[in-house]
Structure 1
Amino acid sequence: MSTTKYELRTGRPAPNPFSDPGQYNADPAEVRPARLGDVHDAISRLRDLGSVDDALAAAARTFAPAGHFARVLLSRIEGSLWVPRHWHSSELEHEQERGLESLLAALRVPLCSTMVETQVVRRRTSQLVEHAQTDSRTHHPFVDAIRTRSYIVAPVIVGEEAVALIHADHGANRHPVSEADHDIVRHFADLLGLALESIALDARIAAEREQVRSALARAESVLSQQGTPSLSVVLNARTPAPHALQPASHPWGLSDREAEVLALMAEGLTNRGIADRLFLSESTVKSHVKQIFRKQGASTRSESIAHAWRHTRWQELRAS
């Protein structure tokens, strides 16, 4: 059994934009564009945090006012468990809300096959639960704890995996959620998943760039002591052909284009940077990189660049 310690983080009270029935009863066609605009602004703020964990921690308190919901819960999917993690409510000052955080923090919900949340995770689609108190598919300790009449739950998808759940409602004993609310929650959850993928990708690119820079710095340190010419010069140097029809040769049987790509890799450029420099698509660059790895017997960019530097040094020694 896992011994991981969990802490439910709660948000400070925020006004509920729909606490006025007149606002809630407004024409959805008038209200929805403003809500969508607020949701997009919220995603931009989460994206700017630059960390997956920070974005998830801030999601509930950021989405509640943006989406015009009284209460929002973000839960993590950890194995076969649904684990409440970050709760935000505009009603925390009310007596009936006191103690709710501790009740939610204690929940570790196994995702059994009949539960609404299980279907949301498996099918990767959102659900509007209209009669939470009587619906046999709800987890009643959760429903009883928050005393909700109806709620919406949507999955946060990263890649092909549901990593989190967003629950939202308009508060205990208030008006039920609507299909318009359902659209807003689903839209936010979809955008949050894309934002998390983008944050994670940026982090991987930064780490890969740092690895390449480190490898280049080590290679430059060694080669600079010997006065070795630049890697791009050696890689792009053409062997004189015995006759006009013989193509120029490159290390490992690389093509001209592959040699260009390898030289730019050695300069620390990403696939996107190489594509921009050579006026190619990023997918074409990825294909060239794959072929370079295959011909060199390399499995990473750092290893490929190291092979290239060693070849450069060998060529210099042969010429001396």
Structure 2
Amino acid sequence: MSTSGDPAERRAALISAAHSLHNRARALLGSRADPARRPDEAPDLESLTETCLAALGSPGADVVGLGRVVADAQRIALLLREHDLVSGVSRLARAEQGLARLRACPSTATLLAEVCPEVTRSCGFARVLLSRVEDGRWLPWQVNDAVAGEPWVAAWSMNSIPLDESIRETQLLREHRAALVNDVTAPDIHPIIREGRSHSYVVAPIVPAGRVLGFLHADHEAESRACDETDRDILGRFAEGFGHLYERTALLEQMRARRGRVRELLASVDRALLDLTEAELELGTPTSATATPVRALREPPPELTPRETEVLELIVAGASNREIAARLVVGEGTVKTHVKRIFAKLGNLNRAQVIARYAAAEPPRVNASGRRPRGVGGQR
């Protein structure tokens, strides 16, 4: 028996030993032993053991030979169970690693492009098909390289399959469970499966958050070993994780799209507010920059620079940005920068609020006699 560290080679060696043991038993028992299975499938060692034990009491039975068969059968069965358990745990770990790699996909398009190759790489299947369900119909979605060139995939793409009660997949969608199919001649197996020349396969529905998305089908190629319960469990776990990843990635895409729209909206609002803040507020109808009367503020804000104070005086006098630029012989962009800084320093006021505050702060007018004119400052 091989002692190779490769799990596949070790299992093949154990199965080969089981077949050799089965042949020994048939030589001892004749037709009482079950026929051998496929070369890649282990014979039923439990049934073989029971048959040998029952034959021990028969007249002329080779007690020593049958006893050795029983002992060897128990030993090989134990080694196979141990191997399959360890191999299954290892494959589950690799499947989880594959899902972790898919978690890094930035979009659903990338996720769909990567899923079938990842099932091949991390779960150990040769052929992988991802199909989808739309409006009660079933059609292929993505395949790995081993399936891509097969003609039945293209034919199926152009002629989707109705999901009715006549096919196995409909039942699996309803039950939300993975399945192992070793009899592809069963009436509920759709002919498209037989066109793919699969003699044994596993299938797992993808049903994230209760919504039917599709299926993952996988096998070990038509000429390779049959699928088993471990294959079913591995693909079922992967399909479950993939369903959650697809939902998560689709949700993140929606959130990114909405965030982009919100940013555009906020940018539009910001531009509108900026335009409103810088809108030219005309007090009176001055005909030119030199026609705008300017009066020094009684108490200019101390936080303003001398130039900003000049600009504030012109704002209070009702000058527009263009008029201020002409009066100070600077560019209109420079004036806008001064206006922004002034408004920020004064507590994020707008133009109208600044004019209302500082126009009211101007000193009262007096006549030649030094008295306030009638009607000003509450006088008669």
* Fold conserved between structures, TM > 0.5: yes
Residue of structure 2 equivalent to 1:116: 168
TM-score, normalised relative to structure 2: 0.50
RMSD, aligned CA: 3.2
Matched, 1:88 2:144: yes
Check whether the contact 1:104–1:145 (CA below 8 A) recurs between aligned residues: no
Q: Say which of 154, 168, 187 aligns to 1:136.
A: 187
Bigger radius of gyration, 1 or 2? 2
1:231-284 Cα shifts (integer Å, max 9, x gaps)? xxxxxxxxxxxxxxxxxxxxxxxxxxxxxxxxxxxxxxxxxxxxxxxxxxxxxx
Using the TM superposition, give the Cα deviation of residue 104 of structure 1 relative to its aligned residue in structure 2, in angstroms: 4.9
Residue of structure 2 equivalent to 1:149: 199
Aligned mates of 2:270, 2:209 — CA distance in 1: 38
Q: Which amino acid aligns with 2:212?
A: A
Using the TM superposition, give the Cα deviation of residue 22 of structure 1 relative to its aligned residue in structure 2, in angstroms: 2.6
Aligned mates of 1:24, 1:142 — CA distance in 2: 34
> Which residues of 2 match residues 236-247 of structure 1 at below 5 A?
none
Matched, 1:178 2:234: no
> Which residues of 2 match residues 11-26 of structure 1 at below 5 A?
18=8, 22=12
> Which residues of 2 match residues 1-320 of structure 1 at below 5 A?
18=8, 22=12, 27-88=83-144, 90=146, 99=151, 101-102=153-154, 104-105=156-157, 108-133=160-185, 135-139=186-190, 141-227=191-277
TM-score, normalised relative to structure 1: 0.58
Aligned mates of 1:66, 1:121 — CA distance in 2: 24
Q: Which amino acid aligns with 1:137?
A: D
Using the TM superposition, give the Cα deviation of residue 109 of structure 1 relative to its aligned residue in structure 2, in angstroms: 1.4
Check whether the contact 1:91–1:171 (CA below 8 A) recurs between aligned residues: no
1:29-49 Cα shifts (integer Å, max 9, x gaps)? 211232122212222332322
Aligned length: 213
Aligned mates of 2:13, 2:212 — CA distance in 1: 33
Check whether the contact 2:184–2:194 (CA below 8 A) recurs between aligned residues: no
Using the TM superposition, give the Cα deviation of residue 125 of structure 1 relative to its aligned residue in structure 2, in angstroms: 2.2
SS at match of 1:187: helix
SS at match of 1:215: helix
Q: Which amino acid aligns with 1:59?
A: V
Report 1 or 2 for greater relative contact order, CA contacts < 8 Å, sequence distance ≥ 6: 1
SS at match of 1:154: strand
1:89-126 Cα shifts (integer Å, max 9, x gaps)? 5588xxxx864544554552111113111112233222
Aligned mates of 1:132, 1:39 — CA distance in 2: 26
Using the TM superposition, give the Cα deviation of residue 18 of structure 1 relative to its aligned residue in structure 2, in angstroms: 4.8
Larger proportion of strand: 1
Check whether the contact 1:18–1:69 (CA below 8 A) recurs between aligned residues: no
Which shows bigger deviation, 157-166 or 44-53?
A: 44-53
Using the TM superposition, give the Cα deviation of residue 316 of structure 1 relative to its aligned residue in structure 2, in angstroms: 10
Aligned mates of 1:59, 1:137 — CA distance in 2: 27
Structure 1 residues 55, 18: CA separation in 2 closer, same or farther (over 3 Å shift)? Answer: farther
Q: Which amino acid aligns with 1:31?
A: S
Aligned mates of 2:140, 2:166 — CA distance in 1: 19
Check whether the contact 1:75–1:86 (CA below 8 A) recurs between aligned residues: yes
Check whether the contact 2:208–2:240 (CA below 8 A) recurs between aligned residues: no
SS at match of 2:227: coil
Structure 1 residues 91, 196: CA separation in 2 closer, same or farther (over 3 Å shift)? Answer: closer
Unaligned ranges ≥5, structure 2:
1-6, 16-79, 279-347, 357-380
Q: Which amino acid aligns with 1:36?
A: L
Aligned mates of 1:78, 1:18 — CA distance in 2: 38
